Amino acid sequence: MYYQLVNNLSAGPYTIEQLRDMAREGIFTPDSQVWYPLLGKWQWVEAKRIAEFIDLFCAAEIESLNAAASEAREIRNEVAAGMRRPTTIIAVGGGKGGIGKTSLTAGLGLCLAAMEQSVILVDCDFGAPNLGATFGLPEPQCSSADFFVRNAVAVERLLAPTGVDRLQLISGLSGVLGQANLKYSRKLKFINQLKKLDADFVLLDLGAGSSYDVLDFYLSCDLGILITCPDPLSMENAFGFLKTALYRGMSRTCSSDEIIRRHLKQQAERAFRPTMFQFLSELRAESTESADTVWNYLAARPKGIILNMVRRRDEIKTVTDLIGHFSRQLSVKVNLLGPVSYDSLVRKSILRKSPFVLARPKARVSRDLLRIASEKLLPRRHLEGRALRRWAMRRLKQVECQRL
């Protein structure tokens, strides 16, 4: 029998079978403290240091991964059969901080909601979440920590109102020990539960950097959007993020192919400097089937880029050329979803904790975002183009008046 330390209190006793069930649910982890005789002395010991628990965690993780994959297939089948409402999950990332990911995520969500789409915003920046602050909302009672760390609630119980019709929020919570470096199976379960929510769109606001958590959320979505600025360094950073994400995805989805695994290891030893074309060429020389597997993976999900803080029209042409260059290097198609003009209004709206598309829906920066939402994200509707955007502008103005 074993005892576990929970909130500085001893819990138990538990049998090894009970701990296995708890590990499957993520309640018992390798970092959990267990009362155990180590080196002849009874003390609280991390579970990962106890030999009889190592296989338990490996088996539980494999079982959880298989369960998540089975649940994802079930959701896809139900959507295809018309039994479930299709939900489009969009990840907004870019690797670099300070490029406007959070402001644009909030703006896109508001634009889609103004076009009568049901939208859920999810703050996936576990280091410094601030999506709720964009709307001037207080710290939430429930956050993603309740799902990932405390294992207390289902995702639908995390939903909070934003004060805008058709727009809800799942907040993050900073300063929660253990919220970073989440279990991969737990991340997949989170995405599966998001797909079960009654919404047209779910937008994930990713954190800065290219940690496994950020990459896995980016890769698990229906559409990955990179945010970047017009300068070449920002573009290089965005495509460096995409390159890292692609190799991370291949290592996960193609892990059953021994030839791919070996070539990925060789790429890692060369610091991933060879281009994706060279990687595919070397792979195809050994196995056409393995190369086709990688090629199909690279083309599986659409990838888009939003050029933020544009001051001059000629910057768009420069960036379009860079997108073509980096796309050829990575052997993927990346679509320019559109430019978003620079406007000091955005900075002011952040200080006021009110999204800029509500403050001035007719401003150029707001119209840019409305165009991206209507032309690139929405499926075809009875209202299209300018008529839809004008109608959405009126709706946004009404929302701001109601908030005031």
Structure confidence at residue 30 (pLDDT): 78
Which positions ≥6 away from 102 have C-beta within 8 Å?
125, 130, 131, 134, 205
Dihedral angle computed from the Cα positions of residues 303, 169, 351 and 401, in that order, rounded to the nearest 10 degrees: 110
Structure confidence at residue 376 (pLDDT): 92
List, for residues 309-366, the tens digit of each pLDDT value.
999 989 999 889 989 988 988 999 999 999 999 999 898 988 888 899 998 999 999 9
Lowest-confidence region among 51-60, 97-106, 170-179, 273-282: 170-179
Structure confidence at residue 41 (pLDDT): 86
pLDDT level of residue 75 (50, 70, 90 thresholds): very high
Domain 2-68 is in which class?
Answer: alpha beta
Structure confidence at residue 404 (pLDDT): 52
* Paired tokens of 154: 């289902």
Residue 211 has pLDDT above 50, yes or no: yes
Structure confidence at residue 382 (pLDDT): 45
More confident residue, 180 or 273: 273
Structure confidence at residue 231 (pLDDT): 87
pLDDT level of residue 14 (50, 70, 90 thresholds): confident
Are the CB atoms for 359 and 349 separated by under 8 Å? yes
Residue 177 has pLDDT above 60, yes or no: no
Where exactly are the structural domains of the chain? 2-68, 86-403
* Paired tokens of 163: 């004060």
Helix (H) or strand (E) holding 288: helix 288-298
List, for residues 394-404, the tens digit of each pLDDT value.
888 887 666 65
Residue 127 has pLDDT above 60, yes or no: yes
Gap between the Cα atoms of 36 and 68, Å rounded? 32
Gap between the Cα atoms of 145 and 178, Å rounded? 9
DSSP assignment, residue 297? H
Question: Which of 81, 343, 137 is closest to 129 using CA atoms?
Answer: 137
Structure confidence at residue 140 (pLDDT): 80
Percent of the chain scored above 90 by pLDDT?
A: 46
The answer to whether 2-68 and 86-403 have equal CATH topology is no
Residue 80 has pLDDT above 70, yes or no: yes
Rounded to whole angstroms, what are the CA distances from 383 to 115, 119, 242, 357, 380?
9, 19, 34, 20, 8
CATH topology of domain 86-403: Rossmann fold (3.40.50)
Residue 391 has pLDDT above 90, yes or no: no
Across the range 284-301, mean pLDDT stands at 92
**Chain mean position to CA 341:** 25
Structure confidence at residue 283 (pLDDT): 94
Phi, psi of 368 (to 5 degrees): -60, -45
β-bridge pairing 160-161 and 201-206: unpaired
Helix (H) or strand (E) holding 34: strand 33-38
Q: pTM here?
A: 0.85
